[in-house]
Amino acid sequence: MLLPTAHPPAVDGSGIRVAIVASEYNAIYVDGMLSAALDVLREAGATGETFRVPGAFEIPVVAAVLLREPNGRPDAVLCLGLIWQGETDHARQVAGAVTTALMGLQVETGVPCVHEVLTVTSEAQAQARCLDPQTNRGREAATTALRMVRLLRGRGVGF
């Protein structure tokens, strides 16, 4: 059973720049998460710039380039994608590679790299996580990005 996304208190996003790297593949679902994420950033007063990539596997390379930018590096990177689990091992391999790469990037750079590259097995799972306003993971991911930036700035870490 999918529980509604927790809606913590609003975060002041003033002065926070979030780069969103979103897959074009499975666009109807990724666009649902992207729209929800942009709404959260806008409501918080943060800015979001979107970079579209062909598929989930391409997300880490764009995130890496953005995070290694000497000037204009974003305060956080939000990664959005959807992978269907099929009959082969391909989805697990892609999801694992993306997860490992994104974790490495955030640890290396000290910049939050929020992972919302979902692996689903059914249409119902995809709709609930990407299109339903109550359980949309894009909304949750944007809130996480803002909270992490505020946490790190408050501790004087990395910024």
Task: Write the pLDDT tens digit of every residue in 1-41.
Answer: 555 555 555 788 999 999 999 999 999 999 999 999 999 99
Span 75-101, average pLDDT: 94
Q: Give Cβ neighbours of residue 115 (< 8 Å, ≥ 6 apart).
A: 79, 98, 99, 102, 103
Span 130-159, average pLDDT: 87
**What pLDDT is stored for residue 107 in this prediction?**
96
Percent of the chain with pLDDT over 90: 82
What's the topology of domain 17-154? Rossmann fold (3.40.50)
115 catalytic? Reply is no
1 vs 130, residue with greater confidence: 130
Residue 144 scores a pLDDT above 90? yes
Span 110-137, average pLDDT: 94
pLDDT-derived band at 102 (thresholds 50, 70, 90) equals very high
CB 6 within 8 A of CB 140: yes
CA distance 127 to 102: 24
Residue 61 scores a pLDDT above 60? yes
- Check 7, 42, 90, 92 and give the catalytic one: 90
